Amino acid sequence: MKNIGYKVPKENKEIFLCPALDRIPGLVQENKLKMNGFKLKINGIPFQALRNKTREELLRKAVLYTNGIKSLLRWQGRHGQHPLIPTNKGEHRGLSLPPLNRQLSIEIPQHQDELHVKGQFLDYESIKNVPIIQTGHEPILYHPGVWIKNHLIHLLAKRLGGIGVNMIVDNDGCNMGFMYVPILSEESASVGKVSLVKNKDHVAYEEIVIDDFGSILQFKEEVIDLLSKNAFREDVKTIMEDVQTMFEQFTDRIGGYYQQGCSDMVGLLTAARISLEEDFGIENLEIPISWMCDTDGFYHFLLHILYDAGRFAKIYNEKLTEYRGIHKIRSKANPLPDLKVLGDSVELPFWVWKAGGQRARCYALNNGDDIKITDRIDTLVILKKSKDSMENISRLKTLKESGFKIRPRAITTTMFSRLFFSDVFIHGIGGAKYDTITDEIIKEFFGIDPPGFVTISATLFLPFDAYDLDESVLYDSQRIIDDMRYNPERYAQKETQSEPEFMSRVEEKQGLLKMMAVGNAEEKRRYFNRIKELNKLMLSRITPEIQKKQNEMQTISSKLAYNEVVRFREYPVCLYSMKVLSEYLLNIFS
């Protein structure tokens, strides 16, 4: 297993990319050749045949979903934005509530022989060969280090004549339903956190519906309230005006989409992000994992693992153990928990839950000819080992009809995408480290050499000036204060040093220090206690000097805290002015 030592870029406008940009086209071609040579079968179907069919299924769904999102943007473009401005009475001016909140819904038309993507028509043969450059992330408020992936897949797709696809990881638990805000008030500097949704950590993003317009307005007002605390300095005030303007425009877009009837969190945030990406000429397709799971390709992938769940769990757990050993991780919960195997019950690398509920772990229970899919409470569906895969897939599809959802977990999410859809996957640094585990599982479970992936990350700070100092200055100040307590005579004013009483104490201390070198244990203890008394007496004469140094240290601490806030890299892109974003992102790959 590889030990990837990638680190998040720390400096402003720094970028990490591996492999280098000019090597990625070669990697795409290498991956294509590699996957074209795979000889394995999935449920009796040749790998290439299933991959080609899955690519077609997923591209069609991506086009449909993206067109649905863009229909929200086009409507708002025709009707204008609706600022979320409360009146004095607390009413909402300029944005009327929709008569019925609904989740984004797009009807899927009948199968067509050709697929229209980015101005070109793709037939089945073209879909087999067109380079698909994929990335993915949770449907949250991206910071620049995440958003850079979307820019890269667009660039690569353009250069390679391919298609960029962003996978919306809407099956993750909603533990990032908030944004960070800089607070540079006079009292202290800190990073604030404002939640759009609360207490939904165990609920998948795809289940989050914003059913009250007031929560959007409250979110906006809380952020603006924090930003307004930064108006005490003119240099900060000017930048904050740009920050607030950008944020208001972004949230006004969300409000406009909500007015059109889109009330699901995934749709709202995706539409707002795509609207911003259009300003940069980005033309990627979007597909939520929830949509990817409604394809025959995904069901075949699920069934292939399900049929050999015990072996998969064994390999999965062994590779996690190996990863923990390499990275010296003691906790068995990190980076991911093992899959549980108890008798005939095997935990699957998938989530399952009832629509509207919380995610639950999914298990396969072997009982004779039956394979029962369960959440440990209820049996959700029963598959038959004696039946062919299509019949069992038909049984799996009844889960959706019953209101149950089955979704991949972290490793199986990228495993499915890398093997059955994309020609190269673009990871962030965290995802790249985890996918070293995925690579090893693919090698052993499928018996193939996994396709390579790309890793990218970047850091872009908000345009505040930082103080030119680091923590070493603080340590130096603390060292001086400590020395003042142990050697106060070194820091006394000249007038004090010339006083007879002070001079006498200094001479006595120097004599005691010499005597400690030759005294026995009892004498050394007595000399040491006397030196402490002398230091205390002399310390009282340098109180102003100590106070001055402590004040300096407090000032340094405040400046370092300020630097941490202005050099924080996870503020969302909706706080950066278009000028700052454009100057960085439009030239980052040139």
When mean pLDDT is compared across 96-110, 265-279, 473-487, the lowest value belongs to: 96-110
**77 confidence band (pLDDT: 50, 70, 90):** low
Region 338-351 average pLDDT: 96
Are 456 and 5 within 8 A, CB to CB? no
Taking the chain, what is the end-to-end CA distance rounded to the nearest angstrom? 34
Q: Please state the rounded mean pLDDT for residues 328-333.
A: 93
Beta bridge partners, 457, equal 16
Nearest to 537 by CA among 574, 488, 588: 488
- Looking at residue 117, its pLDDT comes to 73
Quote the pLDDT of residue 230: 79
Stretch 59-83: mean pLDDT, rounded?
81
Which pLDDT score, from 0 to 100, does residue 105 have?
40
- Tokens of residue 409, six digits: 């977990």
What confidence tier does 233 reach under pLDDT thresholds 50, 70, 90? confident
Higher pLDDT, 115 or 311: 311
**Percent over 90 (pLDDT), the chain:** 83
pLDDT digits (tens, 9 = 90+) for 371-411: 999 999 999 999 999 999 999 999 999 999 999 999 999 99
Say how far apart CA 93 and CA 253 lie, in whole Å. Answer: 15
pLDDT (0 to 100) of residue 531? 95
**The pLDDT of residue 78:** 63
Residue 323 pLDDT: 96
Provide mean pLDDT across the span 71-85.
66
Tokens of 335: 């980076």
Name the DSSP letter for residue 520: -
**Tell me, what amino acid is at 471?**
E
CA trace torsion 343, 348, 354, 359 (10° rounding) = 110
**Mean pLDDT value of segment 479-489:** 94
Residue given tokens 């050709």 in the structure block? 114
pLDDT exceeds 50 at position 432:
yes
Identity of the amino acid at 389: S
CB-CB contact of 67 with 106 (8 Å): yes
Confidence check: pLDDT of 110 > 50? no
pLDDT at residue 84 greater than cutoff 80: no
In sequence order, which residues have a C-beta less than 8 Å from that of residue 112 and are 6 or more positions away? none
CB of 282 closer than 8 Å to CB of 151: yes
For residue 321, what pLDDT is reported? 96
Residue 75 has pLDDT above 80, yes or no: no
Closest C-alpha to 354, from 343, 346, 364, 362: 362
22 pLDDT tier (thresholds 50, 70, 90): very high
Cα separation, 298 vs 54, whole angstroms? 8
Q: Which of the two residues, 289 and 123, has the higher pLDDT score?
A: 289
Least confident of 95-109, 211-225, 575-589: 95-109
Q: How far is CA 582 from CA 144, 249, 460, 576, in A?
A: 12, 17, 12, 10
How many Å apart are CA 205 and CA 124, to the nearest integer? Answer: 33
Average pLDDT score over residue span 509-536: 93
What pLDDT, on a 0 to 100 scale, did the predictor assign at position 369?
Answer: 93
| Mean pLDDT rounded to a whole number for the chain | 90
| Mean pLDDT on 282-302 | 97
Q: Between 110 and 517, where is the model more confident?
A: 517
- Give pLDDT, residue 125: 82
Angle between helices 309-327 and 429-441 (to 10 degrees): 130
pLDDT at residue 99 is higher than 50: no
- Which band of pLDDT confidence, cut at 50, 70 and 90, is reported for residue 17? very high
- What pLDDT is recorded for position 80? 61
Distance (Å) of CA 239 to CA 76, 378, 585 = 28, 56, 19
> 569 pLDDT band (50/70/90 cuts)?
very high
Instruction: Over range 504-533, report the average pLDDT.
Output: 93
Summarize pLDDT for 123-170 with one digit per residue, the tens: 778 888 999 999 999 999 999 999 999 999 999 999 999 999 999 999
Q: What is the per-residue pLDDT for 98? A: 35
Mean pLDDT of 494-501: 93
Report helix angle 309-327 to 296-307, nearest 10: 90
